[in-house]
Amino acid sequence: MRISLGDVSLWFDVSGPSVIPQGDTTIERPVLVAVHGGPGLDHISMKSALAPLADDFQILYPDLRGHGRSDHSSAEFWNLRTWADDLRRLCDALGLSGKPGWAEQSRLGRARTITSRDVSSHYYSHELPAFDPWSMTGAVRCPVLLLAGEDDPICPLPVVEELASRLPAETTRLVRLPDARHTIFRDRPDLAFPAVRNFVSQVREY
């Protein structure tokens, strides 16, 4: 599906129903917004990894500006501030802001992924050197779940622990996943999926 946000058109997919029957009425399920990695990748490999969560939630998979099937836009907009703003506007437009054999699998996931190499190259060359993510932690007000693979070579555990220490302690939960690398939902589905389910349940009780 595609939605226009005015200056950009974003493509997204959805897994799982939003409303399900329960007895003689219906209930609305929570919605998870799954943001793909990169920069320069799209949502497709994440969709297969998170598929089991569709049994409990509706999952929204957007392609960020410049990625996958969304508008390619131009290099001046390939930065975290723009992508974060686009995500917020997408959630507002959809009414979500108030809601909370690995080698072969990897090869197939990469084959299915639309890779925007110019976006990735621009980000790592121009945006990343000038961006300080630690300067933004003080502005975080929403509950945060951090899932950290203890063997993750991309986001090492000490870095995630440092991030957790800079976020509000009362609304931040850090879950360490032993024997997991960066692909936590593939490496430890027995721990990662229950952690997400429990966290969303707690958030809905606030």
Task: Answer yes or no: same fold for 1-131 and 134-206.
Answer: yes
Q: pLDDT of the chain along its 206 residues, tens only? A: 999 999 999 999 999 999 999 888 888 899 999 999 999 999 998 998 999 999 999 999 999 999 999 999 999 999 999 999 999 999 999 988 753 466 677 778 778 899 999 999 999 999 999 989 899 999 999 999 999 999 999 999 999 999 999 999 999 999 999 999 999 999 999 999 999 999 999 998 76
- CATH superfamily entry for domain 1-131: Alpha/Beta hydrolase fold, catalytic domain (3.40.50.1820)
**Which residues sit opposite 172 in a β-bridge?**
144
Q: What 3-state DSSP class applies to 151?
A: coil
Q: Which two tokens stand for residue 155?
A: 């986001």
Radius of gyration of the chain (CA): 17
Q: Where are the domains of the chain?
A: 1-131, 134-206
Per CATH, which fold does 134-206 belong to? Rossmann fold (3.40.50)
Q: Does residue 185 contact residue 193 with C-beta atoms inside 8 Å?
A: yes
